[in-house]
């Protein structure tokens, strides 16, 4: 079997086009564009790239992009003061604090300080709780994008065996909640899971989000499974060149899977498209609450 390669770049672009159309309607109705402000603390090179990509995509969708780049020794109090100012700014519909934050800052405290109505990352405890209770919520962008790719590939996933590898707050836990919301039978595997290969072998849907290059081997995969690779690991190849690889051994996995996402060009572009969709959703909700 040779898997269908899911084109996240094309799907992400289509979603961004839909968002841009929604933004144009929003501007016509409310006389202003939705605004997304991104906060970056420090100089992590990958984070700086993601923040630049988010700003460009925001502007391209017709929204107002704000950016605060703070030095790595910024105090937690200063960051909390900035978040409070953004919470109070009526032109800001979405606030995103780029992760990871420097170690001296308590990430949970900062995320909990964001107004849940502007929490376009979906990381605030209110949105986390609403998602796990099956209520309408701002949902974390990466797992929301994964769910779109999965349901577009498979259709109805009720009753399907789904395995999420990784239990992070950004991907693993919300991914499991979203799959459960679609009535899949969900297992979460993590670093203490025994016999990961056996769990992968039983799964019709595999979402790998652990940050271990090539962890999931092709021979583990159930023939025909839908394999979603969230890993974005920078490794140096035998040629000395750096490249991006996923958590799934793509070359062996594609010979057994029914569908598979590549890295790059799979889940990554869905993250940014999902962020724009969440910003429009937040703007609409705030406008109708005003
Ligand atoms: N506040 C947040 N911080 C982080 C999040 C997040 O959702 N919210 N996720 C990740 C990083 N991330 C967005 O911030 C992100 C990762 C990857 C991509 C992407 O498009 N990747 C491309 C490759 C790009 C490259 O060459 O580096 C791909 O996979 O095709 C976008 C966003 C951690 N932090």
The whole-angstrom separation of Cα 147 and Cα 115 is 25
Q: What is the pLDDT along the chain (290 residues), one digit of tens a residue?
A: 799 999 999 999 999 999 999 999 999 999 999 999 999 999 999 999 999 999 999 999 999 999 999 999 999 999 999 999 999 999 999 999 999 999 999 999 999 999 999 999 999 999 999 999 999 999 999 999 999 999 999 999 999 999 999 999 999 999 999 999 999 999 999 999 999 999 999 999 999 999 999 999 999 999 999 999 999 999 998 899 999 999 999 999 999 999 999 999 999 999 999 999 999 999 999 999 98
Domain with 178 in it:
141-269
Q: Which tokens is 74 given?
A: 């910024």
217 tagged catalytic? no
Q: Does residue 104 share a domain with residue 160?
A: no
Is the beta carbon of 232 within 6 A of some atom in ligand 1?
yes
Token pair 């405290």: residue: 109
Identify which of 55, 268, 274 to mutate to test ligand 1's pocket (most ligand atoms within 8 A of the CB).
Answer: 268
Q: Does residue 162 share a domain with residue 244?
A: yes
Ligand 1: residue whose CA is nearest its atom 14: 50
Number of domains observed in the structure of the chain: 2
Q: Which tokens is 108 given?
A: 């949970």
pTM listed for this prediction: 0.97
Q: Does residue 211 share a domain with residue 160?
A: yes
The answer to the question of residue 36 being in a domain is yes
Is the beta carbon of 253 within 6 A of some atom in ligand 1?
no
The whole-angstrom separation of Cα 9 and Cα 157 is 23
Query: For position 97, which CATH number holds?
Result: 3.40.50.10860
Question: Which residue among 93, 98, 173, 247 is the active-site one?
Answer: 98
The answer to the question of residue 279 being in a domain is no
Whether the CA torsion 72, 74, 77, 78 is positive or negative: it is negative
The answer to the question of residue 246 being in a domain is yes
Quote the ipTM score.
Answer: 0.97
The whole-angstrom separation of Cα 20 and Cα 26 is 10
Q: Does residue 239 share a domain with residue 169?
A: yes
Q: Does residue 89 share a domain with residue 209?
A: no
The answer to the question of residue 161 being in a domain is yes
The answer to the question of residue 71 being in a domain is yes
């Amino acid at each position: 079997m040779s898997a269908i390669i899911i084109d996240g770049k094309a799907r992400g672009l289509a979603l961004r086009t839909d968002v841009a159309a929604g933004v144009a309607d929003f501007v016509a109705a409310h006389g202003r564009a939705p605004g997304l402000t991104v906060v970056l603390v420090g100089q992590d090179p990958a984070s700086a790239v993601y923040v630049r990509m988010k700003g460009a995509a925001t502007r391209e969708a017709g929204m107002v992009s704000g950016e605060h780049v703070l030095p790595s020794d910024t105090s937690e109090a200063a960051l909390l003061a900035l978040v409070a100012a953004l919470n109070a700014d009526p032109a800001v519909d979405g606030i995103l604090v780029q992760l990871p934050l420097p170690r001296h800052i308590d990430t949970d405290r900062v995320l909990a300080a964001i107004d849940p109505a502007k929490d376009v990352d979906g990381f605030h405890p209110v949105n986390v709780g609403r998602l796990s209770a099956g209520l309408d919520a701002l949902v974390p962008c990466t797992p929301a994008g994964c769910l779109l790719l999965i349901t577009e590939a498979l259709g109805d996933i009720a009753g399907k065996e789904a395995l999420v590898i990784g239990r992070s707050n950004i991907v693993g836990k919300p991914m499991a909640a979203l799959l459960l919301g679609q009535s899949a039978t969900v297992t979460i595997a993590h670093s203490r899971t025994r016999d990961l290969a056996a769990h992968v072998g039983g799964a019709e849907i595999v979402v790998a989000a652990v940050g271990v290059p090539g962890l999931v081997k092709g021979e583990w995969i159930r023939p025909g499974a839908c394999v979603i690779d969230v890993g974005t690991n920078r490794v140096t190849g035998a040629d000395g060149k750096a490249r991006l690889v996923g958590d799934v051994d793509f070359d062996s996995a594609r010979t057994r899977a029914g569908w598979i996402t590549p890295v790059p060009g799979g889940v990554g572009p869905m993250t940014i498209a999902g962020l724009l969709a969440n910003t429009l959703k937040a703007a609409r909700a705030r406008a109708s609450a005003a």
